[in-house]
Amino acid sequence: MKATLIVVFSLLLVSIWGQDLVEIESSNVPGFFIHSAIGAQARIEDADGSEQFVQRSAWTLVPGLADHQCTSFESAYSPGYYLRHSNFAVYLQRRDGSILFDLDATFCPRSGLDDSSLTSWTSYNFPARYLRHRNFNLYIDPYSSNTVFLADATWQVEKRYRPISLQSINFPNYYWRHFNFRLRIDPTSNTRIYRLDTAWRLVPGLADSRGVSFESVNYPGYYARHFNFEIVLDQKEDTSIYRNDATFYRVRGLANANWSSFRSRNYPNRYIRHRNFLLYLESGTSTLFRQDATFRTVPSLLGQY
């Protein structure tokens, strides 16, 4: 039975292995993700928008170092460093080639203890212990039927899509950016905060996978959505109105068919456009409107994280 469970949940993770990066979010502390500096105890941290957070919360799920039917968590920003347990606390450490390290750095996926659609992980060499957060720090703790434990040991794996930036056709040196949670186009800058704020993940539409949604790189879990026809950055909510407001259909550019325009799902005659450098959801037919509503995706100014 154990082998069957491992195979089933390994298959669930196969589509993630070897692709883009992932974030691992706590199921009971939404917006908090597994995060660790080299040598430090891993913990869950909230998305604060910093470059440091972007780097330290990005993981690659790889076949387990001790057993390829299980999983190991490799830091995407510091390849060769893995989450491993030591004295039942979990740290980010460099792989040292020892059998013990590989055992300590291998975790086996299970159906989520608190939600079967999510994931829990047991330690490979202490199979009665689960990866969980406690006081925000990560441990492998023995199984308990306590509801707090069940929730602390349940995780959501979220694919981190390769970041892109969005360029304006009529202001080609200007890119989409969030600033104080309002979306705008701003001129190119070499500052790190600008490159973070202009980095987006183009993900399948929250309300319709045929569409797209725009997730902030430095505020994971926050998406571009329209509100009173202004485009804002807002934390994801599990409501139909949020999902619809944050879903857009990518169509041929209104000003250039080789570029793109983004049509609202729930207001299908309105498009994202810039006006006075702020982004709005509006309709129009003028040449200026078509130019203001035309953009293209380019490799992120931030680079790959």
> Which CATH number covers residue 51?
2.80.10.50
Q: What is the mean pLDDT of residues 49-68?
A: 84
Alpha helices by DSSP H, listed for 169-239, are 192-197
Q: Are 99 and 204 members of one domain?
A: no
Domain count, the chain: 2
Q: Are 144 and 45 members of one domain?
A: yes
The reported pLDDT for the residue numbered 263 is 96
10 lies in some domain? yes
| Range with the poorest average pLDDT among 25-34, 132-141, 164-173 | 25-34
Other Cβ atoms closer than 10 A to 69: 16
> Cα separations (Å) of 62 from 20, 149, 303?
11, 26, 22
Residue predicted with more confidence, 110 or 204: 110
Q: Are 194 and 138 members of one domain?
A: no
Q: What is the pLDDT of residues 176-218, one digit of tens each?
A: 999 999 999 999 998 989 999 999 988 889 999 888 899 998 9
Q: What is the pLDDT of residues 141-165, one digit of tens each?
A: 999 999 999 999 999 998 766 688 9
Q: Are 247 and 149 members of one domain?
A: no
Cβ burial of 3 (10 Å; 0-12, 13-18, 19+) is: exposed
216 lies in some domain? yes
State both tokens at 142: 């023995």
pLDDT band at 13 (very low <50, low <70, confident <90, very high): very low
The reported pLDDT for the residue numbered 9 is 40
Q: Are 208 and 271 members of one domain?
A: yes
Calpha distance 261→296 (Å, rounded): 8
Write down which residue in 160, 177, 193 finishes a domain: 160
Q: Are 58 and 81 members of one domain?
A: yes
Write down which residue in 134, 160, 186 finishes a domain: 160
pTM, rounded to two decimals: 0.60
Write down which residue in 160, 179, 201 finishes a domain: 160
Contact between 277 and 185 (Cβ < 8 Å): yes
Q: Are 14 and 133 members of one domain?
A: yes
| Range with the poorest average pLDDT among 202-216, 262-276, 277-291 | 202-216
Calpha distance 252→263 (Å, rounded): 10
The angle subtended at Cα 273 by Cα 270 and Cα 275, nearest 5°, is 125
Q: Are 171 and 155 members of one domain?
A: no
Range of the domain at 110: 2-160
304 lies in some domain? no
For the CA atoms of 105, 41, 53, 155, the dihedral, rounded to the nearest 10 degrees, stands at: 60
Q: Are 51 and 106 members of one domain?
A: yes
83 lies in some domain? yes
Q: Are 255 and 282 members of one domain?
A: yes
State both tokens at 243: 């999902």
130 lies in some domain? yes
Other Cβ atoms closer than 10 A to 42: 24
Mean pLDDT, the chain, whole residue set? 89
Sorted by sequence, the CB contacts under 8 Å of residue 193 that are 6+ apart come out as none
Contact between 215 and 203 (Cβ < 8 Å): yes
With 70 as the cut, is the pLDDT of residue 20 above it?
no
Q: Are 289 and 195 members of one domain?
A: yes
174 lies in some domain? yes
151 lies in some domain? yes
Sorted by sequence, the CB contacts under 8 Å of residue 120 that are 6+ apart come out as 109, 110, 111, 112, 113, 130, 131, 153, 154, 155
305 lies in some domain? no
**Chain centroid to CA 75:** 14
